[in-house]
């Protein structure tokens, strides 16, 4: 998600085209911000894997039917590349979901935003170049804003959940880096690649769900769901999974991974907005100052990464 080298086939977009690519990514940040409340509302320690199976399986049949002809056109190398991305994707959601269950939304939002620092560092390591000073400055402003935005609940000593979210941030960085680097997937149909990714992730979750001691089965969890839980699952499935990763794959091939990372870095801002509007949380002066810094840092970073 941040200053990794864009694929060789990606050139710097014109300003108008850049905005057209940026807006869907920003919307992804909005729905991901809302995912914290949604996930906490329907998930417990014993239903993490069950919810993940349901979340992914809910949209997979629709994708397969809608894109069957294009799916069949994928070559072996493309299937392997998308399968690798799907395994990483599965790891991201396992780490994130277990992490959110075991830590606060405040800590989760703060730690996951470190993706926008990890990504340019990883990209620079791959390219053997240093990130630009402007980009690092923008990232620092954004992270400072996240700290202010989330300090109302306080940042406690790292817990197991905090460490899991940190692992998720590293996995997100790897996912974006691989999307920009695996040559086999560069010219393939985005919908088909997304379908293979989700299919790989569902396979991982289904295997884990079949193992003893991994919590409730998907069927048992679904049987206990009421209308609110099903609404939350639909939000996570359709918007936070299908829409979000389709847009991310589409955008990273039309702009730079750094721009994608910075826009997705506003996720904690939207998480706070969802908490205030839906969860009844309160944001003080420091929180509003942090929100302004996140927006300013993202705008500065867009120019630096462009």
Task: Report pLDDT for 49.
Answer: 95
Counting residues of the chain whose pLDDT is more than 70, the rounded percentage is 85
Q: Which residue has the higher pLDDT, 280 or 198?
A: 198
Task: Report pLDDT for 259.
Answer: 73
Torsion of CA 17, 20, 26, 32, to 10 degrees: -120
Q: How far is CA 278 from the centre of its chain?
A: 21
Mean pLDDT of the chain: 81
Task: Report pLDDT for 211.
Answer: 92
Task: Report pLDDT for 246.
Answer: 76
Question: What is the pTM (predicted TM-score) of this model?
Answer: 0.78
Task: Report pLDDT for 261.
Answer: 67
User: How far are the Cα atoms of 35, 135, 151 from residue 96, in angstroms, in the given order?
Assistant: 11, 26, 21
Hey, which of 33-42, 74-83, 292-301 has the most confident mean pLDDT? 74-83
Task: Report pLDDT for 306.
Answer: 58
253, burial (CB in 10 Å: exposed 0-12, middle 13-18, buried 19+): buried
For residues 160-177, average pLDDT: 88
Q: Which of 144, 141, 151, 140 is CA-nearest to residue 107?
A: 151
CA distance 209 to 219: 11
CA distance 262 to 169: 13
Confidence of residue 232 (pLDDT cuts 50, 70, 90): very high
Counting residues of the chain whose pLDDT is more than 90, the rounded percentage is 25
For residues 216-230, average pLDDT: 92
CA distance 304 to 299: 9
Question: Is 60 exceeded by the pLDDT of residue 143?
Answer: yes
The stretches of the chain forming alpha helices (DSSP H) are 15-42, 48-57, 60-66, 68-72, 76-102, 105-112, 115-127, 133-150, 160-181, 190-210, 218-223, 227-234, 244-252, 257-264, 267-277, 285-305
Residue pointed to by tokens 């997100």: 172
Question: Is 50 exceeded by the pLDDT of residue 162?
Answer: yes
Instruction: Please name the residues in contact with 38: beta carbons below 8 A apart, sequence gap of 6 or more.
Output: 232, 235, 236, 240
What's the pLDDT tens digit per position in 42-77?
Answer: 998 899 999 999 998 888 998 898 888 888 888 899
CA distance 109 to 29: 11
Confidence of residue 233 (pLDDT cuts 50, 70, 90): very high
For residues 15-40, average pLDDT: 81
User: How far are the Cα atoms of 114, 147, 292, 301 from residue 143, in angstroms, in the given order?
Assistant: 7, 6, 12, 12
Question: Is 70 exceeded by the pLDDT of residue 14?
Answer: no
Question: Is 80 exceeded by the pLDDT of residue 105?
Answer: no
Instruction: Please name the residues in contact with 218: beta carbons below 8 A apart, sequence gap of 6 or more.
Output: 50, 53, 54, 57, 209
Question: Is 70 exceeded by the pLDDT of residue 2?
Answer: no
Question: Is 50 exceeded by the pLDDT of residue 11?
Answer: no
Confidence of residue 164 (pLDDT cuts 50, 70, 90): very high
Task: Report pLDDT for 53.
Answer: 94
For residues 294-306, average pLDDT: 73
């Amino acid at each position: 998600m941040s200053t990794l080298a864009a694929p060789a086939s990606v050139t710097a977009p014109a300003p108008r085209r850049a905005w057209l690519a940026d807006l869907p990514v920003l919307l992804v940040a909005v729905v991901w911000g809302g995912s914290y409340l949604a996930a906490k509302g329907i998930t417990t320690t014993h239903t993490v894997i069950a919810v993940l199976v349901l979340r992914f399986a809910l949209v997979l049949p629709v994708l397969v039917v809608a894109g069957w002809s294009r799916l069949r056109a994928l070559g072996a190398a493309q299937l392997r590349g998308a399968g690798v991305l799907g395994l990483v994707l599965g790891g991201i959601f396992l780490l994130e979901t277990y992490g959110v269950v075991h830590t606060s939304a405040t800590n989760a939002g703060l730690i996951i935003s470190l993706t926008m620092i990890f990504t340019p560092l990883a990209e620079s390591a791959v390219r053997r170049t240093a990130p630009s000073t402007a980009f690092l400055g923008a990232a620092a402003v954004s992270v400072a804003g996240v700290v202010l935005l989330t300090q109302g609940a306080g940042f406690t000593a790292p817990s197991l959940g905090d460490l899991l979210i940190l692992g998720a941030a590293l996995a997100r960085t790897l996912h974006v880096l691989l999307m920009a680097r695996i040559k086999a997937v560069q010219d393939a149909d985005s919908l088909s690649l997304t379908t293979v990714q989700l299919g790989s992730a569902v396979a991982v979750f289904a295997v884990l769900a079949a193992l003893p001691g991994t919590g409730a089965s998907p069927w048992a969890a679904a049987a206990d769901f009421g209308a609110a839980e099903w609404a939350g699952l639909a939000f996570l499935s359709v918007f936070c999974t299908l829409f979000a990763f389709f847009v991310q794959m589409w955008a990273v091939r039309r702009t730079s991974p750094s721009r994608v990372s910075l826009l997705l870095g506003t996720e904690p801002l939207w998480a706070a907005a969802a908490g205030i509007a839906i969860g009844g949380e309160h944001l003080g002066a420091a929180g509003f100052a942090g929100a302004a810094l996140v927006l300013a840092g993202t705008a500065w970073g867009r120019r630096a990464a462009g």
